[in-house]
Protein backbone atom coordinates (compact mmCIF):
# COMPACT_ATOMS: atom_id res chain seq x y z
CA UNK A 1 0.00 0.00 0.00
CA UNK A 2 1.35 3.43 -0.90
CA UNK A 3 2.01 5.71 2.03
CA UNK A 4 0.30 8.61 0.23
CA UNK A 5 -2.91 7.96 -1.68
CA UNK A 6 -4.73 10.54 -3.76
CA UNK A 7 -8.27 10.39 -5.08
CA UNK A 8 -9.59 10.63 -7.61
CA UNK A 9 -6.81 9.79 -10.08
CA UNK A 10 -8.60 11.71 -12.83
CA UNK A 11 -11.25 14.38 -12.56
CA UNK A 12 -13.19 16.21 -15.25
CA UNK A 13 -15.27 19.22 -14.29
CA UNK A 14 -17.25 21.96 -15.97
CA UNK A 15 -16.11 25.53 -15.58
CA UNK A 16 -17.51 27.06 -12.42
CA UNK A 17 -17.81 23.81 -10.48
CA UNK A 18 -16.49 23.32 -6.95
CA UNK A 19 -13.70 20.74 -6.95
CA UNK A 20 -12.29 18.59 -4.17
CA UNK A 21 -9.13 16.49 -4.39
CA UNK A 22 -8.30 14.18 -1.51
CA UNK A 23 -5.04 12.97 0.00
CA UNK A 24 -4.78 10.23 2.63
CA UNK A 25 -1.55 9.12 4.25
CA UNK A 26 -0.57 6.28 6.52
CA UNK A 27 2.43 7.75 8.38
CA UNK A 28 2.74 10.35 11.08
CA UNK A 29 3.67 13.62 9.45
CA UNK A 30 5.12 17.00 10.31
CA UNK A 31 4.15 18.74 7.06
CA UNK A 32 1.97 18.25 4.01
CA UNK A 33 2.48 19.96 0.67
CA UNK A 34 0.11 20.54 -2.22
CA UNK A 35 1.80 21.10 -5.57
CA UNK A 36 0.48 21.91 -9.04
CA UNK A 37 2.10 20.49 -12.17
CA UNK A 38 1.19 22.38 -15.31
CA UNK A 39 0.57 20.62 -18.65
CA UNK A 40 3.99 21.88 -19.76
CA UNK A 41 5.60 20.02 -16.85
CA UNK A 42 6.53 22.81 -14.44
CA UNK A 43 5.80 22.24 -10.74
CA UNK A 44 4.63 25.00 -8.42
CA UNK A 45 4.12 24.81 -4.69
CA UNK A 46 0.57 25.78 -3.67
CA UNK A 47 0.47 25.15 0.07
CA UNK A 48 2.51 23.76 2.92
CA UNK A 49 0.49 23.03 6.05
CA UNK A 50 0.79 21.12 9.27
CA UNK A 51 -2.63 21.85 10.76
CA UNK A 52 -5.92 23.56 10.07
CA UNK A 53 -6.66 25.34 6.85
CA UNK A 54 -5.02 27.70 4.37
CA UNK A 55 -6.59 29.78 1.61
CA UNK A 56 -5.06 31.46 -1.40
CA UNK A 57 -7.43 33.00 -3.90
CA UNK A 58 -9.83 30.28 -5.08
CA UNK A 59 -7.77 27.50 -3.52
CA UNK A 60 -8.35 26.13 -0.04
CA UNK A 61 -6.34 23.38 1.63
CA UNK A 62 -7.39 21.62 4.80
CA UNK A 63 -5.77 18.95 6.91
CA UNK A 64 -7.12 16.65 9.62
CA UNK A 65 -4.13 15.22 11.47
CA UNK A 66 -6.22 12.74 13.50
CA UNK A 67 -7.82 11.27 10.38
CA UNK A 68 -4.57 11.50 8.34
CA UNK A 69 -6.38 13.25 5.53
CA UNK A 70 -6.06 16.47 3.56
CA UNK A 71 -8.26 18.04 0.92
CA UNK A 72 -7.58 20.62 -1.75
CA UNK A 73 -10.65 22.59 -2.84
CA UNK A 74 -10.96 24.80 -5.89
CA UNK A 75 -13.91 27.17 -5.97
CA UNK A 76 -15.35 28.52 -9.24
CA UNK A 77 -13.06 26.30 -11.32
CA UNK A 78 -11.63 27.61 -14.58
CA UNK A 79 -9.98 25.88 -17.55
CA UNK A 80 -6.64 27.38 -16.46
CA UNK A 81 -6.90 25.21 -13.30
CA UNK A 82 -6.38 22.14 -15.53
CA UNK A 83 -3.23 20.49 -14.19
CA UNK A 84 -1.99 17.59 -12.11
CA UNK A 85 -2.29 18.23 -8.37
CA UNK A 86 0.24 16.44 -6.19
CA UNK A 87 0.16 15.79 -2.45
CA UNK A 88 3.43 15.18 -0.58
CA UNK A 89 4.04 14.50 3.10
CA UNK A 90 7.05 14.78 5.31
CA UNK A 91 7.22 11.96 7.79
CA UNK A 92 7.43 13.11 11.37
CA UNK A 93 10.55 10.99 11.93
CA UNK A 94 13.08 13.09 10.00
CA UNK A 95 12.03 11.55 6.68
CA UNK A 96 12.14 13.06 3.23
CA UNK A 97 9.04 14.05 1.27
CA UNK A 98 6.84 11.17 0.11
CA UNK A 99 4.76 12.02 -2.95
CA UNK A 100 1.36 10.84 -4.12
CA UNK A 101 0.88 9.90 -7.76
CA UNK A 102 -1.17 12.99 -8.48
CA UNK A 103 -4.72 13.84 -9.54
CA UNK A 104 -5.18 14.96 -13.12
CA UNK A 105 -7.82 17.69 -13.31
CA UNK A 106 -9.40 18.84 -16.54
CA UNK A 107 -11.82 21.77 -16.43
CA UNK A 108 -13.98 22.15 -19.54
CA UNK A 109 -15.30 25.55 -20.65
CA UNK B 1 15.43 36.34 -9.74
CA UNK B 2 15.63 33.47 -12.22
CA UNK B 3 14.64 31.02 -9.46
CA UNK B 4 15.73 27.43 -10.11
CA UNK B 5 17.20 26.76 -13.54
CA UNK B 6 18.01 23.43 -15.13
CA UNK B 7 19.96 22.54 -18.25
CA UNK B 8 19.54 20.89 -20.64
CA UNK B 9 15.75 20.73 -21.17
CA UNK B 10 16.04 17.56 -23.26
CA UNK B 11 18.81 14.99 -23.65
CA UNK B 12 19.21 11.68 -25.45
CA UNK B 13 22.02 9.36 -24.38
CA UNK B 14 23.22 5.96 -25.40
CA UNK B 15 23.61 3.22 -22.81
CA UNK B 16 26.92 3.58 -21.02
CA UNK B 17 27.42 7.28 -21.70
CA UNK B 18 27.88 9.69 -18.83
CA UNK B 19 26.54 13.18 -18.45
CA UNK B 20 25.81 15.93 -15.94
CA UNK B 21 22.45 17.59 -15.42
CA UNK B 22 22.94 21.14 -14.24
CA UNK B 23 20.88 22.87 -11.55
CA UNK B 24 21.34 26.37 -10.19
CA UNK B 25 19.35 28.66 -7.91
CA UNK B 26 19.82 32.36 -7.20
CA UNK B 27 17.69 32.59 -4.04
CA UNK B 28 20.48 31.72 -1.58
CA UNK B 29 18.57 28.61 -0.51
CA UNK B 30 20.28 26.18 1.86
CA UNK B 31 18.53 23.06 0.67
CA UNK B 32 18.60 21.55 -2.81
CA UNK B 33 17.35 18.22 -4.07
CA UNK B 34 17.02 16.09 -7.17
CA UNK B 35 13.91 14.07 -8.04
CA UNK B 36 12.93 11.81 -10.87
CA UNK B 37 9.38 11.49 -12.17
CA UNK B 38 8.26 8.35 -13.95
CA UNK B 39 4.83 7.56 -15.46
CA UNK B 40 2.38 6.19 -12.89
CA UNK B 41 4.68 6.97 -9.98
CA UNK B 42 5.12 9.87 -7.62
CA UNK B 43 8.24 11.98 -7.58
CA UNK B 44 11.14 10.13 -5.99
CA UNK B 45 14.11 11.70 -4.25
CA UNK B 46 17.53 10.85 -5.70
CA UNK B 47 19.96 12.97 -3.66
CA UNK B 48 19.75 16.10 -1.59
CA UNK B 49 21.98 18.70 0.05
CA UNK B 50 21.47 20.70 3.23
CA UNK B 51 24.27 23.14 2.43
CA UNK B 52 27.50 23.63 0.53
CA UNK B 53 29.74 20.61 0.99
CA UNK B 54 26.98 18.40 2.45
CA UNK B 55 25.04 15.85 0.43
CA UNK B 56 23.01 12.75 1.27
CA UNK B 57 21.21 9.95 -0.51
CA UNK B 58 17.50 9.83 -1.10
CA UNK B 59 15.21 6.98 -2.05
CA UNK B 60 16.78 6.05 -5.43
CA UNK B 61 20.47 7.10 -5.45
CA UNK B 62 22.04 4.22 -7.39
CA UNK B 63 23.70 5.28 -10.63
CA UNK B 64 23.83 8.97 -9.69
CA UNK B 65 26.41 11.21 -8.04
CA UNK B 66 26.07 14.74 -6.71
CA UNK B 67 28.29 17.43 -5.25
CA UNK B 68 27.59 20.85 -3.75
CA UNK B 69 30.67 23.03 -3.96
CA UNK B 70 28.68 26.28 -3.86
CA UNK B 71 25.31 27.32 -2.43
CA UNK B 72 24.04 28.07 -5.95
CA UNK B 73 24.87 24.89 -7.89
CA UNK B 74 23.85 21.26 -7.44
CA UNK B 75 24.79 19.13 -10.48
CA UNK B 76 23.57 15.56 -10.91
CA UNK B 77 25.95 13.15 -12.63
CA UNK B 78 24.90 9.98 -14.38
CA UNK B 79 27.94 7.72 -14.28
CA UNK B 80 27.00 5.13 -16.92
CA UNK B 81 23.53 5.73 -18.31
CA UNK B 82 21.03 2.88 -18.43
CA UNK B 83 17.58 2.70 -20.08
CA UNK B 84 16.07 2.51 -16.55
CA UNK B 85 17.27 6.09 -16.05
CA UNK B 86 14.94 7.36 -18.77
CA UNK B 87 12.83 9.84 -16.83
CA UNK B 88 12.05 13.48 -16.20
CA UNK B 89 14.42 14.99 -13.65
CA UNK B 90 13.48 17.89 -11.41
CA UNK B 91 15.76 19.95 -9.23
CA UNK B 92 14.23 21.78 -6.27
CA UNK B 93 15.39 24.15 -3.57
CA UNK B 94 13.99 25.43 -0.28
CA UNK B 95 15.18 28.24 1.97
CA UNK B 96 15.76 26.29 5.19
CA UNK B 97 14.06 28.87 7.37
CA UNK B 98 12.07 26.19 9.18
CA UNK B 99 15.19 24.18 10.02
CA UNK B 100 14.28 21.36 7.66
CA UNK B 101 14.52 20.84 3.92
CA UNK B 102 11.05 19.37 3.92
CA UNK B 103 8.92 21.79 5.93
CA UNK B 104 9.65 24.81 3.75
CA UNK B 105 8.06 25.84 0.48
CA UNK B 106 9.69 23.89 -2.35
CA UNK B 107 10.79 25.71 -5.51
CA UNK B 108 11.13 23.50 -8.58
CA UNK B 109 13.12 23.88 -11.76
CA UNK B 110 11.48 23.32 -15.16
CA UNK B 111 12.77 19.76 -15.51
CA UNK B 112 15.06 17.82 -17.83
CA UNK B 113 13.60 15.07 -19.99
CA UNK B 114 16.24 12.34 -20.40
CA UNK B 115 16.00 9.40 -22.76
CA UNK B 116 18.56 6.60 -22.61
CA UNK B 117 18.62 4.31 -25.64
| Each residue's pLDDT tens digit, B47-75 | 999 999 999 999 999 999 999 999 999 99
A33 touches B at CB < 8 Å: yes
E-assigned strands of chain A?
A: 4-7, 10-14, 19-25, 29-37, 43-49, 52-56, 59-64, 69-74, 83-91, 97-99, 103-108
Predicted pLDDT at B1? 76
Mean pLDDT calculated for residue range A42-58: 94
Predicted pLDDT at B2? 83
Helix (H, G, I), strand (E, B) or coil at A1: coil
Predicted pLDDT at A2? 73
Cβ neighbours of residue A18 under 8 Å, at least 6 residues apart? A73, A74, A75, A76, A77
Predicted pLDDT at A41? 83
Predicted pLDDT at A71? 98
Q: Which of A71, A64, A26 is nearest to A46 (CA)?
A: A71
Is A101 within 8 Å of B102 when comparing Cβ atoms? no
CB B58 within 8 A of CB A96: yes
Greater confidence, B12 or B1? B12
Predicted pLDDT at B105? 87
Predicted pLDDT at B80? 96
Question: Which residue from B103, B106, B110 is facing A41, i.e. has the nearest CB?
Answer: B110
- Interface test with chain B among A24, A33, A43, by most B beta carbons within 10 Å: A43
B90 touches A at CB < 8 Å: yes
Question: Which residue from B45, B103, B108 is facing A31, i.e. has the nearest CB?
Answer: B103
Partner B, chain A 55-84, Cβ-Cβ below 8 Å? none
A93 touches B at CB < 8 Å: no
CB B66 within 8 A of CB B72: no
What is the average pLDDT score of chain B? Answer: 93
Question: Which residue from A43, A95, A102 is facing B108, i.e. has the nearest CB?
Answer: A43
Predicted pLDDT at A39? 85
Q: Place B22 in a pLDDT band, splitting at 50, 70 and 90.
A: very high
Q: Which of B44, B51, B96, B58 is nearest to B74 (CA)?
A: B51
Predicted pLDDT at A92? 62
Amino acid sequence: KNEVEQSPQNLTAQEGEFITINCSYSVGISALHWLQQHPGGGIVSLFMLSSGKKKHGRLIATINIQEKHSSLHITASHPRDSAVYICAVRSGSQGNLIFGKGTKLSVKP
Amino acid sequence: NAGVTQTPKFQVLKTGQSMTLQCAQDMNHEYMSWYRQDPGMGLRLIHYSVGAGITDQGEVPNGYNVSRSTTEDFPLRLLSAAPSQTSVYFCASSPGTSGSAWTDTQYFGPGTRLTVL
